[in-house]
Amino acid sequence: MKVLAAMSGGVDSAVAAARMVDAGHDVTGVHLALSRNPQSFRTGARGCCSLEDSHDARRAADALGIPFYVWDLSEEFRVDVVEDFIAEYRAGRTPNPCLRCNESIKFSAVLARGLALGFDAVATGHYARLVQGPDGVELHRAVDPDKDQSYVLGVLTAEQLAHSLFPLGDSPKSQVRAEAAARGLTVASKPDSHDICFIPDGDTAAFLDRELGTAEGAIVDADGTEVGRHDGAHHFTVGQRRGLHLGIPAPDGRPRYVLDISPVTNTVTVGPHEALAVDTITAGRPSWAGPKRPGRWRASVQVRAHGEPLGCSVEASDDGVRVLLDAAAHGIAPGQAVVLYDQDRVVGSATIDSTAHRAAA
């Protein structure tokens, strides 16, 4: 097979590419330049699009003896990932940019280019497994639960999965690092990336302040009483407890959590933990990793990256899904994805629009 290995300059994608070479595929490495302002060698700051990363990816490709290219997808990334991220916060929602990047860059723009150039598949260092099932290729959780990235891959369609390869899904991270060292790859000890790649200093609030500006507004209790002030509703996420700096303590002395963000009135509503309880999720922009299931069916749902799977029933329509949780859950934020699983297998995903409590309806 002709395989395009997406090489970030990190240890995972270097080992993924190496395994593709070992498997006898005709492998070409590609590094994506995603930022117009790559971090300089002098700052030492690291993002997925820094010059160091591009250099590391090239060195890994050289060590593997494979051709290597850098593709500039910074405009697509700016529009589809960064602008979407900013717009979502502007709308009072909490986006997941890694998921959007997988959806529109790595397995869309890159895959489309790769297929047009005669490649059969894109291989990445994501931790997830592809399993051949009765209806085609299935996406499953990785064996290493701490590294499992099936949630951020939950947006991939059956068509995209058919042209994807995840060579690391069966391996624990420790094994991947040891393998990189044994192969003599210089990235073997490079630290894992954690933050949002286009915010390398990790200060999301400052990034959003620069993009959206600051705007003072009210923090109110559920009955509308003002209990504090904020300087930008985009600093908050539904379920957040820290950083509220309420002027007036709650009468019962218990902590308050963000219940709702209204961008129209620039108001943040807070309340006690139990007021966060919801058991019904309405989500749009659905995508299906296999055939869409009619009627009401059982699944487990993950509502945030690294969240626990929750038992639920699902009703799917053309424009979204309704998820009926078996038990109420707390802090489910609009803008995040619901990823639906059948055991370890991803069935599909959608983006949370609203939540409700059936008993309160």
Ligand X SMILES: Nc1ncnc2c1ncn2[C@@H]1O[C@H](COP(=O)(O)OP(=O)(O)OP(=O)(O)O)[C@@H](O)[C@H]1O
**Is there binding between residue 310 and ligand X (CB under 6 A)?**
no
The Cα–Cα gap between 203 and 221 comes to: 28
Query: Which is catalytic among the residues 48, 49, 98, 101?
Result: 101
Say whether 293 sits in a helix, a strand or coil. coil
Active site residue 49: no
Mask 219-258, x = binds ligand X (CB under 6 A)? ----------------------------------------
Cα dihedral: 276, 281, 285, 287 (round 10)? 120
The Cα–Cα gap between 75 and 347 comes to: 31
Report in angstroms the alpha-carbon separations of 336 from 96, 304, 349, 353: 6, 6, 10, 9
Q: How far is the CB of 58 from ligand X (least distance, A)?
A: 11
Residue of 18, 19, 27, 31 interacting with ligand X (CB under 6 A): 31
Does residue 314 have a known ligand-binding role? no
Residue of 19, 25, 126, 256 interacting with ligand X (CB under 6 A): 126
**Is there binding between residue 316 and ligand X (CB under 6 A)?**
no
Q: How far is the CB of 178 from ligand X (least distance, A)?
A: 14
Q: How far is the CB of 34 from ligand X (least distance, A)?
A: 5
> Under rule CB under 6 A, how many of the chain's residues touch ligand X?
18
* Nearer CB in complex with ligand X: 48/259: 48
The Cα–Cα gap between 58 and 70 comes to: 9
Active site residue 48: no
Please state the length of the chain: 361
Does residue 117 have a known ligand-binding role? no
Q: How far is the CB of 6 from ligand X (least distance, A)?
A: 3
**Is there binding between residue 8 and ligand X (CB under 6 A)?**
yes
Does residue 217 have a known ligand-binding role? no
Does residue 1 have a known ligand-binding role? no
Does residue 9 have a known ligand-binding role? yes
Mask 33-62, x = binds ligand X (CB under 6 A)? -x-------------xx-------------
DSSP for 206-229, written as a single string: HHHHHHH----EEEE-TTS-EEEE
Does residue 8 have a known ligand-binding role? yes
Q: How far is the CB of 102 from ligand X (least distance, A)?
A: 8
* Nearest CA among 40, 3, 42, 8 for reference residue 187: 8
DSSP for 315-326, written as a single string: EEETTEEEEEEE
**CA atoms within a 13 Å half-sphere pointing along the CA-CB vector of 12:** 23
CB-CB contact of 149 with 107 (8 Å): no
Token pair, residue 171, equals 């391996």
Could you say which residues in the range 185-224 bind ligand X, by CB under 6 A? Answer: 192-193
Does residue 47 have a known ligand-binding role? no
State how far Cα 336 lies from the chain centre: 9
Q: Which residue is nearest to ligand X (CB)?
A: 10
Token pair, residue 234, equals 């985009």
DSSP for 31-63, written as a single string: EEE--SSPPPTTT----TT-HHHHHHHHHHHHH
**Is there binding between residue 10 and ligand X (CB under 6 A)?**
yes
CB-CB contact of 166 with 126 (8 Å): yes
* Nearer CB in complex with ligand X: 204/282: 204
Strand partners, 122: 4, 164
Active site residues: 101, 197
Annotated binding site for ATP: 6-13, 32, 125
* Residues forming the site for ligand X (CB under 6 A): 6-8, 10-13, 31-32, 34, 48-49, 106, 124-126, 192-193
